[in-house]
Amino acid sequence: MEQMVQVFKALGDETRLKILIILSRRRICAKGIAKHLSISEPAVSQHIKVLKEAGIIAGEKIGYYVQYDLQEPILSDIIKFIEQMHHDHSLNSCKLGVHIPGECMAACKASKNKCCQKNK
């Protein structure tokens, strides 16, 4: 669960999403990313650092440059995580790493609140 939180934090920035879009089309170095996005190389380096720490991208040194590429396994994990939340409303607390109280519905019905309605 901790890695998934780190991944979503990394994805929560417009510039990093743009970098991922570029990397989805080609392997490229930080200088190339900076040129495509019209931002400084140090700014790109900071964004790359966040994406690498989250495991979303990896770099490979080729000559004088480091070429960056998407890490398909982590992208697949993100897709699976979202699909589980979307399609499987019977997810148990172990799968998500979150305790979902079973008594919530009973407590809400007793006090006539409708805060714990199940998703359809």
Q: Could you list the pLDDT tens digit for every one of the 120 residues in the chain?
A: 788 899 999 999 999 999 999 999 999 999 999 999 999 999 999 999 999 999 999 999 999 999 999 999 998 988 888 888 776 655 554 455 666 566 666 666 666 666 665 555
* CATH 1.10.10.10 placement within the chain: 2-73
Residue 43 has a pLDDT of: 97
| DSSP state letter for 118 | P
Distances (CA, A) of 16 to 7, 42, 67, 80, 110: 11, 14, 16, 21, 47
pTM of the model: 0.74
Give the pairing of strands 57-62 and 28-29. unpaired
Please state which CATH number belongs to domain 2-73.
1.10.10.10
Quick one: which of 50, 48, 39 has its CA closest to 8? Answer: 50
